[in-house]
Structure 1
Amino acid sequence: MWCIKKFNELSSHDFFHIARLRIDTFIVEQQRIYPELDDWDLQAKHVYYQRDGQILAYARMFLAGVHFAFGRFVIHPTVRGTGLGDQLVKLILHYAKNHYAEYPVKIEADRRVLKFYQRHDFQIQGTPYISNGIPYVQMLYQPKKTTG
């Protein structure tokens, strides 16, 4: 089941499983040392897929100044490669179109997953940079124009 909730709408159980997935993935699996939880968690909408009490896909999304953004995008290891990540991106973009259509969608993407975001019409903006020891690049969502 897909859910979109504000921080104060999350149950303590759901927040625990979200934090656990993020920490298990970003801190333990990817061995990144940085503050995983931050103030954006309090402001963001949290979008996640839950089955049998387990969080299998997650991202947080928020308005960041003059653009709509999402981050902390993560898929549980047991369901990677099943299309759940594609579903999550599509859900986020649909939400952005319906609630924040006047804002461009811009993300900071780990350079290791650029092709994934490029499949969803994100284009690289600017030059790569390092943040907290992690190589990132900014990407802007630019949907393909369809001709009628």
Structure 2
Amino acid sequence: MWCIKKLDELSSQDFYRIARLRIDTFVVEQQRIYQELDDWDVLAKHVYYKRDGQILAYARMYLAGVHFTFSRFVTRSDFRGTGLGDQLIKLILHYAQSHYSEYPIKIESSRQVLKFYQQHGFKIQGAPYITDGIPFVDMLYQPE
């Protein structure tokens, strides 16, 4: 079941499962040391797929000044390659077009998922840069 909720609408169990998935992926698996929870969590809508009490895919989405964005895009490791990531990005893009159509959609992408975003209509904007020791590039959604 797909859910879209503000932080104060999440149950404590769902918040815990989301934080655990993000930390397991971005801090432990990717061996990054950085502040995983930040102020964007308070402002964002949290979109996730929940089955049998488990969070299998997740992202947060929000308006960031002059553009709409999403981040912390993740699929649980044992469900990668099942199509949940494709479903998640389509849901986010549909939400953005339904609620924020006047804003461009801009994201930051690490090198390892660049092709995934390109398959969904994102184009590289500018030169790569390093954040928290990881190379990133800005991407802009440009539907075909």
TM range (shorter): over 0.9
Structure 1: stretches of 5+ with no match in the other structure: none
Partner of 1:69: 69
3-state DSSP class of the match of 1:63?
strand
Distance 1:90 1:50 in 2: 17
Structure 2: stretches of 5+ with no match in the other structure: none
Partner of 1:30: 30
How many residues of Structure 1 are paired with residues of Structure 2 in the alignment? 144
Letter in 2 for 1:18: I
Distance 1:28 1:114 in 2: 21
Q: Deviations over 1:78-99 (max 9, x none)?
A: 1100110000000000000000
| Cα RMSD for the two superposed structures | 0.4
Partner of 2:11: 11
TM-score (norm 2): 0.99
Q: Deviations over 1:95-137 (max 9, x none)?
A: 0000000000000001111000000000000000001111100
Q: How does 1:59-98 map to 2 (within 5 A)?
A: 59-98=59-98
Partner of 1:105: 105
3-state DSSP class of the match of 1:3?
strand
3-state DSSP class of the match of 1:68?
strand
Partner of 2:47: 47
Work out whether 1:126 is the aligned partner of 2:131: no
Q: Deviations over 1:21-41 (max 9, x none)?
A: 000011111100000000000
Tell me which stretches of 4 or more aligned residues in structure 1 moved more than 3 Å: none
